[in-house]
Amino acid sequence: MSRIKENNGAYDLGKLDDQALFLYLDGQEPSSIQDQRPNNGLVSSGSKKSSQPSIAKTDVPSAASGPEQPKTAKREGTRKGTTSSPEQDAPKTPDPKTLRRLAQNREAARKSRLRKKAYVQQLESSRIRLTQLEQEIQRGRSQGFHVGGNAVLGGDQGFQVNMANRGNSVLGRDQGFQVNMANISSDAAVFDVEYARWLEEHHRLMCELRNAVLEEHLLEDQLGIYVENCVTHYDEMINLKGTIAKSDVFHLISGLWKSPAERCFLWIGDFRPSELLKIILNHIEPLTENQLLGMCGLQQSTQEAEDALSQGLETLNQSLSDTIIASDALLGNENIMRQMAFAINKLSTVEALFRQADNLRHQTIHQLHHILTTRQAARCFLAIGDYFHRLRALSSLWLARPRHE
């Protein structure tokens, strides 16, 4: 037993000497070889002490490096924030809807400025024309003449009569209806000037419409544009009369702005719609069954409305006459002012009657446009224009006829 132990110990020593020799030859330190040698789970206290500081040393940098990572992340975040702020401050491109709305607003503002400029120019030209008319009136008064109702306009544009043998007055003279221009308000004079311009524009539109009707290869839609222009032009006249009706409705009712021949057919300030329907019947044939029914219904409703308005005007005239011829008013007592106040209130009804009559004329024009086809409506408006044009021409010829003393 002792021999075996000695042999084992000698074997171990010899083995250690060989290892020391190998270490010497390799030039390695014993500590590194000791680390590489398997210890079979046995670790000395010295190795434990030496390993713990090494672990601590390796852990310190890792622990120290741990908090540094959030700082770098935060710096990166701040860099991103600073780089994104100029993008946020830069103006954003609006969407197409906003751009379209802005463009529409700019276009509307531009058109409004143009309309305002045209309106100012129109007012200025009207003022100049009114000044010229006043000068002509003063010149006529100095020569001892009275100026009649439509003499300012000379009947129709293009049919103005120069009464050279009557003092070279360019205003002409209306026979049988002499009215001093001092009785015409300034609003009425401006209306007469605007009506003269409306006649000039109406003549131009009728010429264009006539040429369009005579053109065989013109499309229906293109012809419809000329018809729409005529309807719009009639609407402008309705609006013009509505404006003057607020200040001087009697100028419209009396027909001073019309030619003498037109005044023979005057009804509450203008033409009768029922007479207009009779004029166009021969120019719109042939009609379909639905169109015939529509025209018959329009004639019936128009005639009924005319009768109602005529009855209302007759009632107003009778009531006004009864108020004026009251006995206490004729005696000139203290109640005369009260009676005149009643009469003024009754006269205010004239404007309402005129507006209803003008509205009936307006509806008749639009109903015709709705019932008839485009080509029929074109012939209809040509017939209406020719009818009134011939009446104005007849008035001018009447004024220019030779007088026998």
Q: How confident is the model at residue 239 (pLDDT cuts 50, 70, 90)?
A: very high
> What integer pLDDT is reported at residue 57 of this predicted model?
42
pLDDT tens digits for range 127-137 = 887 777 777 66
Give the three-class secondary structure for 178. Answer: strand
Which one is predicted more confidently, 194 or 335?
194
Window from 175-184, 273-282, 331-340 with minimum mean pLDDT:
175-184
To 5 degrees, how large is the angle CA 122–CA 125–CA 126? 85
Instruction: Please say if the pLDDT value at position 225 is more than 90.
Output: yes
Alpha carbon 173 to its chain's center: 44
Query: Would the pLDDT of 208 be above 60?
Result: yes
pLDDT at 216 over 90: no
Rounded CA separation 339/343 (Å): 6
Amino acid at 256: L
More confident position, 109 or 19: 109
Lowest mean pLDDT across 29-38, 203-212, 277-286: 29-38
Question: Nearest-CA neighbor of 309 among 365, 253, 236, 234?
Answer: 253
- Percentages of the chain per state (helix, strand, coil), in multiples of 5: 75, 0, 20
Q: Report residue 154 CA to chain centroid gap.
A: 37
Output 288 or 344, whichever has higher pLDDT: 288
- pLDDT digits over 360-387, tens only? 999 999 999 999 999 999 999 999 999 9
Output the six-digit token pair for 296: 């018959």
| Structure tokens given for 238 | 């309705």
DSSP structure string for 116-176: HHHHHHHHHHHHHHHHHHHHHHHHHHHTT---BSSTTTTSSTT----BGGGTSBTT---TT
What residue type is assigned to position 203 of the chain? H
Which pLDDT belongs to residue 13? 46
> Is residue 70 pLDDT above 80, yes or no?
no
Between residues 352 and 182, which one has the greater pLDDT?
A: 352
Q: What is the pLDDT of residue 15?
A: 47
User: Which of 177, 345, 356 is closest to 255 using CA atoms?
Assistant: 177
Phi and psi of 267, rounded to 5°? Answer: -140, 110
Q: How far, in Å, CA of 359 to CA of 364, rounded? A: 9
pLDDT: which is higher, 6 or 348: 348
Q: Taking the model in full, what pTM does it have?
A: 0.56
Q: What is the pLDDT of residue 17?
A: 55
Residue type for position 157:
Q
Q: Which residue has the higher pLDDT, 239 or 68?
A: 239
Q: How much is the pLDDT for 89?
A: 56
211 residue type, one letter: N
Beta bridge partners of 169: 163
Q: How many CB atoms lie within 10 A of CB 64?
A: 9
pLDDT band at 59 (very low <50, low <70, confident <90, very high): very low
Buried b / exposed e over 17-32, threshold 16 CB at 10 Å, is eeeeeeeeeeeeeeee
Q: Band the pLDDT of 252: cuts 50, 70, 90.
A: very high
More confident residue, 316 or 216: 316
Q: Which residues pair with 178 in a beta bridge?
A: 148
Task: Encode pLDDT of 269-281 as tens digits.
Answer: 999 999 999 999 8
Does residue 147 contact residue 137 with C-beta atoms inside 8 Å?
yes
pLDDT digit string (tens) for 117-175? 888 888 888 888 777 777 766 665 555 444 444 433 333 433 333 333 333 333 333 33
Residue 403: its pLDDT value, please?
79
What is the separation, in whole angstroms, between the first and last Cα of the chain? 186
Domain boundaries, the chain: 186-399
Q: 256 exposed, middle or buried (CB, 10 Å; 0-12, 13-18, 19+)? A: buried
Percent of the chain with pLDDT over 90: 37
Quickly tell me which residue has 């020569």 as its tokens: 143
Query: What single-letter DSSP state applies at residue 403?
Result: P
Using alpha carbons only, what angle is made at residue 16 by residues 15 and 22, rounded to the nearest 5 degrees?
A: 95
Q: 14-46: per-residue pLDDT in tens?
A: 445 555 555 656 555 544 444 444 444 444 444
> If you average pLDDT over each of 144-153, 168-177, 300-309, 343-352, which comes out highest?
300-309
Query: What is the reported pLDDT for 47?
Result: 43
